[in-house]
Amino acid sequence: MRRPDGPTELPGPDGDPAGAIRRLRWAILLNSLFVALELAAGFTVNSLALISDAWHNLTDVLGLGIAWFAVRQVRRPADPVRTFGYHRAGILAALGNSLFLGVVTLSLFLEAVERLRHPPPAGGGVILAVAAIGVLINGTVAFSLRHGGRDLNLRSAFLHMLGDALVSFGVVVAGAGMLWTGWDWLDPVASILVGAFILAGAWRIVREAVNVLMEGTPRGLRVGEVSAAIAGVPGVQGVHHLHVWSLSGDLTALSCHVVVEDQPLSSGGLLAERIRKELHDQFRISHATIQLEVALPAPADPLPIHHEGGAVRG
């Protein structure tokens, strides 16, 4: 039976890929400006912490750039080389960004442990002011990307920005607490707590991305329920060779063999369309390839074989 003619366009945060591109473009611009601000403030007050954080935020700009590029690639139509389209560009971007975010978070853990052993002097007013600006900028960007839904690429970008906002917020709270109480351990402990939150989110995205690339069953979908739904369509006598996989975070494909009674080709086509509608309505399966098979009659009992005078007669 037929497969849909073209690739299905993935929705952006507002149901439009152009919306995702626009938000990511603004995120890149705002974060680039914040990196410039941190570098300027760091060199002005001779703060190694601000300069180091500026380089960290520069890697986030790179991650946002990768996410932006992937969203543009996803919109490309299918061609003879990529017959399913470029939907998995977003999965690759999400996997790369999340793995990189995990490495950055582990380095944050190591730095926090070192600060617990050798606490640095409390940050000055300039450092706290820049961190507060970071909360505002990164929080605004994260808020704009919050509706990534099942799009792993946008969820990865959101996690990047949410992590930065939380780190900056931790700097403000811990810095103020250190100035008020003199407890030098507040800053590294806050970094460890924020890092654990980021690492857990990054691991979930990595796990989902690997499942998509391995063509595993989509998250939250049960193959048994899909098979039962197909079998429940009037005219279906059996289902086998059922495969369900993800082309991307929110685009699911299916192929199966459906056993039916002998019927005209036009009737079989209508039955296949009813099955596709059922799959789309119940499970949001967009690409369904259904092969119809005619139920074979049960074989008749074989005739007895008689032996007479060395000859074999049926």
- All domains in the chain, ordered by first residue: 17-213 (1.20.1510.10), 223-294 (3.30.70.1350)
Within 10 angstroms of residue 224's Cβ, the number of other Cβ atoms is: 8
In the block, residue with structure tokens 């005209």: 264
Query: pTM for this one?
Result: 0.73
pLDDT digits (tens, 9 = 90+) for 74-99: 888 888 888 888 889 989 998 998 89
User: What pLDDT, in 10s, does the model give residues 239-289?
Assistant: 999 999 998 877 899 999 999 988 888 899 999 999 999 999 999 998 999
The pLDDT tens digits for 99-112 are: 988 888 888 788 88
pLDDT value at residue 102: 87
Starting from the edge strand earliest in sequence, which strands make up the sheet with 236-248, in order?
236-248, 251-260, 285-294
Q: Strands 285-294 and 251-260: what pairing?
A: parallel
Nearest by Cα to 271 from 291, 295, 253: 291
Cα angle 192-99-61, degrees, rounded to a multiple of 5: 85
Average pLDDT over residues 220-243: 94
The arithmetic mean of pLDDT across residues 143-167, rounded, is 82
DSSP for residue 301: P
Residue 239: strand, helix, or coil: strand
- In which band, very low, low, confident or very high, does the pLDDT at 314 lie, cut at 50, 70 and 90? very low
Lowest mean pLDDT among 13-22, 146-155, 229-238, 290-299: 13-22
- For strands 306-308 and 236-248, give the pairing: unpaired
Summarize pLDDT for 13-68 with one digit per residue, the tens. 334 677 888 889 999 999 999 989 888 887 887 666 677 677 778 888 888 999 99
DSSP string, 57-124: HHHHHHHHHHHHHHHHHHTSPP-SSSTT-STTHHHHHHHHHHHHHHHHHHHHHHHHHHHHHSPPPPP-
